[in-house]
Homo-oligomer: A and B are copies of this chain.
Amino acid sequence: MTPRRDRAAFPAQVGTLPTPSLIVDAEALEDNIATMAAALPGGRLRPHVKAHKCTSLARRQASAGHQGFACATIRECEGMAAAGLGGDLLLANEVLDASRLGALVREGVQLTVAVDSPETIDAAVAGGVRRVLIDVNVGLPRCGCAPDRAGELARSARRRGLEVRGVMGYEGHVVGLEDAADRGERCRVAMELLMAAHRDVGGEVISAGGTGTYACNVWASEIQAGSYALMDVAYSKLDLPFRPALFVLATVVSSNGEWAVADAGLKALGMDRGKPQIEGAKVWFCSDEHTTFAPSRPVGELVRLVPGHVDPTMSYHERLHLYSGDEVIGTWPIDLRGW
């Protein structure tokens, strides 16, 4: 990276940003979006906005042909709708208070919510949501009904006047497996459960998948991938045609012959999948506002950290700076944070 001492001379350059800053390599981002759009064009991909929480980035995905989006929170649905991207939103999580979703529906937003229990069906009806997917557990111990209960829930939902568009089932226990053959085989097993549930439920939608299974999951009608656009250390271990586009820019604020310390730490990085990486260096550990790494680099030098996990990293930052070469070419608000 450009040393910080050059910053004054190049006011529109990466070196002028305060640190820590979240930056994205615009070319890598565009390549990742284009690669995915070629593999899963149009409605075959339902980009998951939880990975970036940024309507400006979602708009690039829409420009690449994807009109439907998956959201993880009510706030994400509200923000997407406000940005004019509410043509086909799926809240791919269960909620017990759907009143804010119902308000969106009354404003004309096309919205579907996941349900996996009588209580969540009740909540959809009470809140004024009209469309649901039956969320099916396909092996990840999280939400979703047992596959053999999906038909009964669908009948119950239809009796309550809801449109059941189909099923959803996230093979989250599979998407991160590094061995591609193992990933493919376990994806097949998971999707057999989902297809069985779909036979009982009906509807045109079979929503599943993620960045790790976007290619091998040939059963789902649409893939909910999000991380592919920005990538992270965890997904970079897989054999995927996407490259790291997201970095936390930091300044070396202290150094000696043995190690250096950059001014980005636990409050700038999602840490649940491990430490960030720095090219050409070994990261020792992160503290609240610091990352210690070796070999040492001079005080004032800029470094780029690749986050271990993209999603919780985005949630720490207010904005994302796009860069090309050394030039900052845009700044996007990360406007879907919170709940």
**A contact set with B: CB distance below 8 Å:** 4, 18-20, 50, 72-73, 93-97, 116-117, 119-120, 141-144, 146, 172, 251, 253-256, 258-259, 261, 263, 266-267, 270-272, 284, 286-290, 292, 299-300, 309, 311-312, 315-316, 318, 338-339
Contacts and interface: CB of A to CB of B under 8 A. Distances in A.
The 10 closest A-B pairs by CB, nearest first: A143-B254, A271-B272, A94-B253, A266-B312, A267-B315, A119-B299, A72-B289, A288-B311, A266-B272, A94-B254
- Total copies of the chain: 2
B312 A267 contact: yes
For A141, A267, A338, the residue with the greatest tally of chain B CB atoms inside 10 Å of its CB is A267
Contacts of A290: 93, 142-143
Contact of A299 (B117, B141, B144, B261): B117
A120 B311 CA distance: 34
A270 B287 CA distance: 12
Contacts of A97: 18
Contacts of A18: 97, 339
A266 B311 contact: yes
Contacts of A172: 287
Contact of A300 (B96, B258, B272): B96
B143 A253 contact: yes
Contact of A289 (B50, B258, B266): B50
A266 B269 CA distance: 11
Nearest to A275: B272
Given A96-B251, A96-B299, A266-B272, 17 more contacts: A4-B96, A93-B253, A93-B289, A93-B290, A94-B261, A95-B263, A120-B299, A142-B292, A143-B254, A144-B254, A266-B309, A266-B312, A267-B311, A267-B312, A271-B271, A271-B312, A272-B286
A172 B289 CA distance: 13
Nearest to A7: B97
